[in-house]
Chains A and B, each alone.
Chain A
Amino acid sequence: MAEAKSSPASEPTRRDMLFLATGAMGAAGVIALAVPFVRTLAPNAQTIAAGAPIEVDLTPIPEGQGIKLFWRGKLIFVRSRTKAEIEEAQKVNLASLPDPQADSARVKPGKENWLVIYGSCTHLGCIPGGSAAGEVRGDYNGWFCPCHGSHYDTSGRIRKGPAPTNLPVPPYAFLSDTKIRIG
């Protein structure tokens, strides 16, 4: 060492080489090992398989009422909207909405009476009431979240309260006039 100090510009030693090589190998190893450790926390194969698409029969839902169902552990609202509710949703001034989105972008064309949305409040994930008869529907006749007071309208759009976005529309398609597939 004393020799190395006296000539700072001396040749790299074999120890320097070992330090760099083992250091690089060690760092690569730690990163490579971290990946599987973190990946174990992701949804496992069983959870993913249980999240396959589901079919829903719409015939038992009377006009003006809705059902709740689960897909991927998340609640989904399917509501059969009345004429008045559809009109109410369509005539809103979009500029006045916290998360502007036209009602037509949230339903399938020609099926405006069916609204399919996720049923977890976009604030912190509580279940807004308003699907079943007798539940509080909030100031905009849609859904009302009791946890922190978010009001949703008849299109599931946020109108008042802390929730940042509209209730999202899950991926779904009409298989026939009375049947949809979610997923």
Chain B
Amino acid sequence: MSGPSSYVPKLGIAKWLDARLPLPRLMYDSFIAYPVPRNLNYFWTFGGILMLMLVSQILTGVILAMHYTPHATLAFTSVEGIMRDVEYGWLMRYMHANGASMFFIAVYIHIFRGLYYGSYKAPREVLWILGVIIFLLMMATAFMGYVLPWGQMSFWGATVITNLFSAFPIVGETIVTFLWGGYSVDNPTLTRFFSLHFLLPFMIFGVVILHVWALHVTGQNNPTGVEVKAVAKDTIPFTPYATIKDAFALVLFFAFFAYFLFFIPNYLGHADNYIPANPAVTPAHIVPEWYFLPFYAILRAVPDKLGGVLLMFAAIAVLVVLPWLDTSRVRSMSYRPLARQCFWAFAVTCVMLGWLGSRPAEGIYVTLSQLFTALYFAYFLIALPLLGLFETPKKLPGSIAESVLGKMKGGSGAVVGAAAPAEPNTKG
């Protein structure tokens, strides 16, 4: 995609370094000269936003770790100490806690962007799977981070989630004992979660580098889903075009972040987590953080413990095989009238599952959870495999340039589209 390097070092020292470690060349080719499709919309800015969120989480996290004490009897007090005694400690903690939510808002938009525009399809399967791995690592990191303040929700969240592993036959109990380092969630559990919570973000960083590498091999997808055909016509250089667009979106996103941070910093949390952990009292209503709710609803939809656990993991595992489940040769849902409706039904399904995950597990909520769990899997296992075989897609534009410039000429894309020679529209 990026083609031969166009980097020409000018300064003597740049030439000297280029012959020894061509890092400036890599940066120039990746973030300045790199060709991006000229029709990218604002949904393509979330990759950059996510990168900044990861940096923000690591920076605030390293500061918090300087003031935090990982011990069952001291953790809660040390977090309160950060809030009250450390200068700007409240800012660091609220940035970190709300930052986690912002990170997930951005990653969910990023994932749904990929689902809508078919970014998971060939040749971007590895890119997509690396993204799923990052998502899994993010979930593990967020879960273990939430345990660290050692409040009631921390403790009982840890108890519920670690007990998931006891559902596995024979080895289940041993796994749980080794997760806990004891016979229940206690100090050894807290210290190992702290250690892993510090490690995992750097593993995420490593996989992000692979994710960007894979992206730069295949090139970006775009709203038409039509591959770049002529680099000169279909693309524009990353800098300044994509750089300034990413920066503008980033500022808007951080304004949104700042609203939560400065006006409603506890809106996304739970009041119960300001009560120190008490192993003798379960909060009346245990709910995970909002970003886990859809998966929590799937877990509770199944009346069988092992079945619920397996289905919850399957809800994520199905994303890994998605590139091979979608049989359509057309990437973008913009050109797939039926699949687009299914996509929006799927989006509503995910929101409904999230809402159901926050409800108590009784009565109509259980039935609805089962219904929407079935719909969730139906999208991947029934709708996408079959639609590709039966659906008649709309006519694709001949190229990215045509889709953009056709619209600009008097707003009628059909004229240019019809005049263009009949080329094969997709590469498969």
Which residues of chain A have C-beta atoms less than 8 A from B218's C-beta?
none
State whether the Cβ of B19 lies closer than 8 Å to any Cβ in chain A.
no
- 8 Å CB contact of A43 from B183, B281, B362: B183
- 20 A-B contacts (beta carbon < 8 Å): A41-B192, A43-B182, A47-B182, A70-B279, A72-B183, A73-B184, A73-B185, A73-B186, A123-B305, A124-B159, A125-B159, A125-B160, A126-B282, A127-B280, A127-B281, A145-B282, A147-B160, A147-B285, A162-B300, A162-B304
The reply to whether B303 and A127 form a contact with Cβ atoms under 8 Å apart is: no
User: Is there contact, CB below 8 Å, between B178 and A126?
Assistant: no
B177–A149 contact, CB under 8 A? no
Cα of A164 to Cα of B280 in the assembled complex, Å = 22
Nearest A residue to B178 by beta-carbon distance?
Answer: A41
The answer to whether B361 has its CB under 8 Å from any CB of chain A is: yes
Q: Which residues of A are at the interface with B, using a C-beta cutoff of 8 A? A: 38, 41-44, 47, 51, 68, 70, 72-75, 120, 122-127, 145-149, 161-164
A135 to chain B, nearest CB (A): 11
Check: B181 CB closer than 8 A to any chain A CB.
Answer: yes
Nearest-CB residue, chain B, relative to A43: B182
Is B194 positioned at the interface, with any CB of A under 8 Å from its CB?
Answer: no
A122 and B164 CA atoms in complex are apart in Å by: 10
Are B159 and A41 interface neighbours, CB within 8 A?
Answer: no
How far apart are B55's CB and chain A's nearest CB, in angstroms? 31
**Whole-angstrom distance between the Cβ of B381 and the nearest chain A Cβ:** 24
User: A161 vs B279: C-alpha distance in the bound complex, in angstroms?
Assistant: 22
Do A42 and B361 form a contact, CB below 8 Å, given A126-B160, A126-B282? no
B303 x A47 contact (CB < 8 A): no
Are B362 and A149 closer than 8 Å at their CB atoms?
yes
User: What's the Cα separation between A150 and B99 when bound, in Å?
Assistant: 35
CB distance from B170 to the nearest CB of A (A): 14
CB closest chain-A residue, reference B167: A164
User: How far apart sit A41 and B181, CA to CA, in the bound complex (Å)?
Assistant: 6
**Complex Cα distance A147/B305, Å?**
14
Bound complex: CA A100 to CA B159 (Å): 26
Contacts of B286 in A (CB 8 A): 126, 147
Distance in angstroms from B345 CB to nearest chain A CB is 27
A68 B280 Cβ-Cβ under 8 A: yes
Cα of A68 to Cα of B282 in the assembled complex, Å: 13
Chain B proximity of A162: nearest CB distance (Å): 6
A146 touching B282 in the complex, CB below 8 Å, given contacts A124-B163, A162-B304: yes
Do the beta carbons of A43 and B160 come within 8 Å of each other? no
- Whether A74 and B300, one on each chain, are in contact in the complex, defined by CB atoms closer than 8 angstroms, is no
A73 to B303, CA, bound (A): 28
CB distance A164 to B182 under 8 Å? no
Hey, which chain A residues are within 8 Å of B285, CB to CB? 146-147
- The residue that A164 contacts in the complex, of B183, B188, B304, with Cβ under 8 A, is B304
Instruction: Return the chain B residue nearest A165 by Cβ.
Output: B305
Residues from chain A with Cβ under 8 Å of B178 in the complex: 38, 41-42
Interfacial residues of chain B within 171-210, with CB under 8 A of chain A in the complex: 177-186, 188, 192
Which residues on the A side are within 8 Å of B66 (C-beta)? none
Q: Which residues of B contact A145 (CB under 8 A)?
A: 282
Residues of A within 8 A of B162 (CB): 125
The 7 closest A-B pairs by CB, nearest first: A73-B184, A72-B183, A127-B282, A125-B163, A124-B160, A125-B159, A126-B282
Q: How far is the CA of A74 from the CA of B164 in the complex (A)?
A: 17
B118 touches A (CB below 8 Å): no
| Chain A nearest Cβ from B191, distance in angstroms | 11
